[in-house]
Chains A and B, each alone.
Chain A
């Protein structure tokens, strides 16, 4: 050992620390948010927004409609993207996504049951009630998938995706049954949930989601170094001093909380959790200490932009943003599969 220590005493290249993309992403998020807030049926030019030179109508639209909607898009996008990143770490598999593997539909089923069976719930309390239901559905589904996937010994993509198909089908059947039982008003609410939309954005929704998603993201960032090590394998992580059982529980809870809160206010918005961490990984690598915060911001950007398009593409009507993200995310997923098939990147 000593001999080698002398030969390589010349300056060592430290481990490459990739540059943080966060400042750039935050600027982009601010631009996207400002753009989204100014575009719509009532145009609110950005300079006027800054100078406060707004008509009463513009001010009402900005504070009562646009702002909560943009903020909700940011928080929901961040929550979905981060839970995608965390689940991919948990399953040690870049194809995990809360929508694909059924966590979102499990959460949606729980929400549907609450809507149809428990009657109308409104206000802050009702929203938290739905969030809790969605959270329970999400956690339950996540644990179920985790168990099934581990039954095959190692974590296999095949088992994860196949059990996702089965769970999605079961949850869909359950949601369908709830739809069958529902009355007109409930039916409207259910349709909204299954398609995924930020149309119901009001301040209470923003508050509910933010109080759940923000702490979950912070907890995940705190544990990001250990999530990296978990990628070596559960046993290896334990050998390196990481309590992998505790860590897995933290990941499942944070991911399910975020997805649950997001589903409760905006329904199923698919593929954000798949696409965003992937884009981040392609540019700055898989280090979760950067990946998780960067995914949060990029998720926010993506959903703000997607939601703005959803609002203006078919104006004056509005299309559910979930349809839009799936239209982009579906082909992206196929591309990933294709890339995996051609043997690159060791997915």
Chain B
């Protein structure tokens, strides 16, 4: 369980996140949603420990994040950030192999090779394995980066997976495939998956819980059916509900 209790982070003259308390439970997919600038990515960064909080505390299984070494954390949770760019001509397999680094592997062992292959197959990118990473298209890069993140927590039971807009550059088929995969990991491996996403239809289809943010504050949190409602859509996203829920 990753739990944040009453966390705030000062950003200019505002707090983002602003006194937010949330929990990412194992075995579930939790979506963080909200309009642009609501602080979705910042909340995700606070939950992963990438960004320090000015108030409150984030704990992993009851232990504050600050007490873990970077390596311990890396073995417990993997993070797919937005727009991670690799400009050097690494091969796709080399990029995915970096995901094995926290476990002391350099990607050359038989076991690591198997994991790298499976991770790439999972995101439908094994056919790219011999390609040079910077020559891939945006969507292909995103899938390979996802494979790297998957390889990082592959055999770890009860690991956590943080994905910041993992589907932003994917076509429709791969959007569904990636989120399906997130669900599957949650159910089969008891992973706690936390996804920042925009498409409420995908949220309703694949997420168990949702955290709704507006201007840094958490306006709703809980089961998707209770949080992604006509009222939230109208109020938080300022969109007519029928655009989301159909006529």
A interface list, Cβ under 8 A from B: 1-2, 4-5, 8, 12-17, 92-94, 154, 225-226, 228-229, 231-233, 235-236, 238-243, 281, 285-287, 289, 345-347
Contact B113 A13 (CB under 8 A): yes
| Bound CA span A226–B102, Å | 10
User: Which residues of chain A have C-beta atoms less than 8 A from B95's C-beta?
Assistant: 232
Contact B90 A286 (CB under 8 A): yes
Q: How close is B223's CB to chain A, nearest CB, in angstroms?
A: 26
Asked if B37 is an interface residue, CB under 8 A from chain A, the answer is no
Contact A240 B117 (CB under 8 A): no
Contact B81 A242 (CB under 8 A): no
CB-nearest residue of chain B to A287: B94
Contact B74 A240 (CB under 8 A): yes
User: Which residues of chain A have C-beta atoms less than 8 A from B134's C-beta?
Assistant: 345-346
Q: Can you report 9 A-B residue pairs in the complex whose CB atoms are below 8 A from each other? A: A12-B117, A232-B84, A233-B81, A235-B81, A236-B84, A239-B78, A241-B101, A287-B94, A347-B87
Asked if B166 is an interface residue, CB under 8 A from chain A, the answer is no
Contact B94 A15 (CB under 8 A): yes
Contact B113 A241 (CB under 8 A): no
Q: Interface residues of A: mostly helix, strand, loop or mixed?
A: loop
Question: Known: A4-B121, A15-B108, A241-B70. Contact between A285 and B98, CB under 8 A?
Answer: no
Contact B73 A241 (CB under 8 A): yes
Q: How close is A293's CB to chain B, nearest CB, in angstroms?
A: 15
The total of Cβ contacts below 8 Å across the A-B interface reads 124
Contact B48 A12 (CB under 8 A): no
Asked if B24 is an interface residue, CB under 8 A from chain A, the answer is no
| Bound CA span A347–B134, Å | 9
Contact B152 A240 (CB under 8 A): yes
Contact B87 A92 (CB under 8 A): yes
B interface list, Cβ under 8 A from A: 48, 50, 69-75, 77-79, 81, 84-91, 93-95, 97-99, 101-102, 106-110, 112-114, 116-118, 121-122, 129-130, 132, 134-135, 152, 184-185, 188-189
Contact B91 A242 (CB under 8 A): no
User: Which residues of chain B have C-beta atoms less than 8 A from A225's C-beta?
Assistant: 101, 106
Contact B91 A16 (CB under 8 A): yes
User: Which residues of chain A have C-beta atoms less than 8 A from B152's C-beta?
Assistant: 240
Q: How close is B24's CB to chain A, nearest CB, in angstroms?
A: 16
Contact B81 A4 (CB under 8 A): no
User: Which residues of chain A have C-beta atoms less than 8 A from B48's C-beta?
Assistant: 239
CB-nearest residue of chain B to A89: B88
| Bound CA span A135–B129, Å | 43
Question: Known: A14-B108, A239-B74. Contact between A286 and B89, CB under 8 A?
Answer: yes
Q: How close is A313's CB to chain B, nearest CB, in angstroms?
A: 35
User: Which residues of chain B have C-beta atoms less than 8 A from A231's C-beta?
Assistant: 86-88, 90
User: Which residues of chain B have C-beta atoms less than 8 A from A241's C-beta?
Assistant: 69-75, 101-102
Contact A12 B86 (CB under 8 A): no
User: Which residues of chain B have C-beta atoms less than 8 A from A17's C-beta?
Assistant: 108
Q: Which 9 A-B residue pairings sit nearest by Cβ, starting from the closest?
A: A346-B134, A241-B74, A241-B71, A14-B113, A286-B88, A241-B102, A239-B79, A15-B107, A12-B113
User: Which residues of chain A have C-beta atoms less than 8 A from B87's C-beta?
Assistant: 92-94, 231, 346-347
Contact A8 B114 (CB under 8 A): yes
- Extra inter-chain contacts (4) besides given A235-B81, A240-B74, A241-B70, CB under 8 Å: A12-B114, A13-B117, A15-B112, A285-B89
Contact B114 A345 (CB under 8 A): no
User: Which residues of chain A have C-beta atoms less than 8 A from B110's C-beta?
Assistant: 12, 14
CB-nearest residue of chain B to A7: B121
Of the candidates B50, B70, B86, B122, which one forms a contact with A243 in the assembled complex, judged by CB atoms under 8 Å apart?
B70
CB-nearest residue of chain A to B129: A13
| Bound CA span A15–B114, Å | 10
Contact B50 A235 (CB under 8 A): yes
Of the candidates A93, A285, A347, which one forms a contact with B90 in the assembled complex, judged by CB atoms under 8 Å apart?
A285
CB-nearest residue of chain A to B133: A346
Contact A8 B118 (CB under 8 A): yes
CB-nearest residue of chain A to B184: A1
User: Which residues of chain A have C-beta atoms less than 8 A from B94's C-beta?
Assistant: 15-16, 228, 285, 287
User: Which residues of chain B have C-beta atoms less than 8 A from A285's C-beta?
Assistant: 89-91, 94
